[in-house]
């Protein structure tokens, strides 16, 4: 019996019937929407969830800044009510992300053959849906199990791309740099020491970005944010030109969209229906593809791929 104070539980055979119902043969659940394509999400906050007198301690993957806590779309709307602690009170979507978190906990220490099998399943299912790429962390951030899984996919499927966003410098440092793993490191106005105390520091995030191609993003709710040129200069100086602010995101939650008015702004955060990652591809184009196609901003990438 698993009690409230027992260690973190990762035994898949003890999943509740509702959790089992969300598993695809005990594999990571991949989400789909027409804007982002297929994505892997996990739970954003630590929790203890109970079912039939059993308690599940689920690790949190995010290290949120104050800005994240206020503006992250995964903390609001249909992602909301994360404070529920009975498995049957969670929505189907929340249950799926909870199960993904439990599976990631499991893969943190599972035999490599099991991690490789999950990598095969994930890529196979994404390709069956018609995608040669999967976006990581539409909700949630990296975890030890996720890092092992991404490393396995990268090595086993060199033509399949894993891309996404992270604020976890410790785990980015554990990802094996690979041409088919394209992570953008996220910042905001409260990334320490810019304006807040929580989350990984700007210094650590720039250092982590360097080993993954130097791609960084900045999210803001301030049009014409004057911090952007300051950050450009700081990152260039600290990384000796090896990292840069690649993409600017306006705050976007439901119908609310900030138009920052910056040439490197993500075209999808301005609330236009015909814009999505699969019709832009900026964040999962390699540097050589960007050069070959002569695109230098997300907007140019979108105009190139728009059909």
Q: Which is nearer to ligand SF4, 18 or 35 (CB)?
A: 35
**Given the DSSP bridges, would you call strands 37-40 and 133-136 parallel, antiparallel or unpaired?**
parallel
CB 74 within 8 A of CB 6: no
| Euclidean distance between CA atoms 34 and 115, whole angstroms | 28
CB 298 within 8 A of CB 267: yes
CB 133 within 8 A of CB 154: no
Q: Is 266 a residue that touches ligand SF4 (CB under 6 A)?
A: yes
Beta strands, E only, 45-180: 47-51, 54-58, 133-136, 161-166
The nearest distance, CB 300 to ligand SF4, in angstroms, is 11
Tokens representing residue 207 in the block:
């250092």
The nearest distance, CB 303 to ligand SF4, in angstroms, is 11
Question: Sign of the CA dihedral 266, 267, 273, 276?
Answer: negative
The nearest distance, CB 281 to ligand SF4, in angstroms, is 6
Q: Is 189 a residue that touches ligand SF4 (CB under 6 A)?
A: no
Q: Which is nearer to ligand SF4, 166 or 247 (CB)?
A: 247
Q: Is 218 a residue that touches ligand SF4 (CB under 6 A)?
A: no
Q: Binding residue for ligand SF4 (CB under 6 A) from 72, 123, 172, 268?
A: 268
Q: Is 126 a residue that touches ligand SF4 (CB under 6 A)?
A: no
The nearest distance, CB 221 to ligand SF4, in angstroms, is 17
Judged by CB under 6 A, the number of residues near ligand SF4 is 10
Q: Which is nearer to ligand SF4, 122 or 283 (CB)?
A: 283
Q: Is 113 exposed, middle or buried (0-12, 13-18, 19+ CB in 10 A)?
A: exposed
Q: Is 247 a residue that touches ligand SF4 (CB under 6 A)?
A: yes
Question: Sign of the CA dihedral 250, 254, 256, 259?
Answer: positive
CB half-sphere exposure, 156, CA atoms < 13 A = 18
Q: Is 216 a residue that touches ligand SF4 (CB under 6 A)?
A: no
Q: Binding residue for ligand SF4 (CB under 6 A) from 30, 62, 283, 295?
A: 283
Q: Is 277 a residue that touches ligand SF4 (CB under 6 A)?
A: yes
Q: Which is nearer to ligand SF4, 17 or 223 (CB)?
A: 223
- Among positions 144-163, residues that touch ligand SF4 (CB under 6 A) are none
Q: Is 267 a residue that touches ligand SF4 (CB under 6 A)?
A: yes
The nearest distance, CB 263 to ligand SF4, in angstroms, is 12
CB 55 within 8 A of CB 49: yes
Helix (H) or strand (E) holding 257: strand 256-257
Question: Sign of the CA dihedral 249, 149, 175, 214?
Answer: negative
Q: Which is nearer to ligand SF4, 15 or 126 (CB)?
A: 126
Q: Which is nearer to ligand SF4, 26 or 305 (CB)?
A: 305
Applying CB under 6 A, the residues found at the interface with ligand SF4 are: 247, 266-268, 277, 280-283, 298
């Amino acid at each position: 019996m698993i009690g409230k104070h027992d260690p973190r539980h990762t035994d898949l055979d003890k999943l509740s019937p509702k959790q089992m119902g969300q598993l695809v043969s005990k594999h990571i659940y991949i989400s789909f929407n027409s804007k982002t394509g297929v994505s892997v999400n996990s739970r954003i906050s630590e929790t203890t969830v109970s079912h039939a007198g059993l308690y599940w301690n689920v690790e949190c993957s995010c290290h949120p800044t104050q800005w994240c806590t206020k503006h992250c779309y995964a903390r609001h709307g249909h992602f909301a009510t994360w404070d529920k602690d009975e498995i049957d009170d969670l929505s189907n979507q929340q249950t799926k992300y909870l199960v993904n978190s439990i599976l990631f906990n499991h893969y943190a220490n599972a035999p490599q053959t099991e991690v490789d099998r999950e990598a095969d399943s994930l890529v196979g299912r994404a390709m069956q849906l018609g995608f040669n790429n999967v976006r990581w962390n539409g909700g949630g951030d990296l975890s030890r199990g996720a890092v092992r899984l991404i490393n396995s996919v990268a090595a086993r499927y060199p033509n399949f791309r894993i891309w996404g966003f992270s604020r976890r410098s410790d785990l980015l440092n554990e990802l094996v740099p690979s041409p088919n793993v394209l992570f953008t490191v996220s910042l905001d106005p409260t990334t320490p020491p810019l304006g807040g105390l929580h989350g990984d520091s700007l210094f650590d995030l720039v250092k982590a970005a360097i080993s993954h191609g130097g791609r960084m993003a900045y999210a803001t709710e301030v049009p014409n944010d004057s911090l952007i040129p300051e950050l450009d200069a700081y990152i260039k100086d600290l990384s000796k030109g090896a990292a840069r602010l690649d993409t600017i995101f306006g705050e976007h939650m439901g119908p609310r969209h900030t138009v920052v008015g910056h040439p490197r702004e993500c075209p999808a955060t301005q609330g236009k229906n015909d814009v999505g990652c699969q019709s832009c591809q900026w964040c999962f184009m390699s540097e050589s593809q960007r050069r070959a196609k002569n695109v230098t901003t997300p907007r140019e990438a979108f105009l190139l791929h728009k059909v």
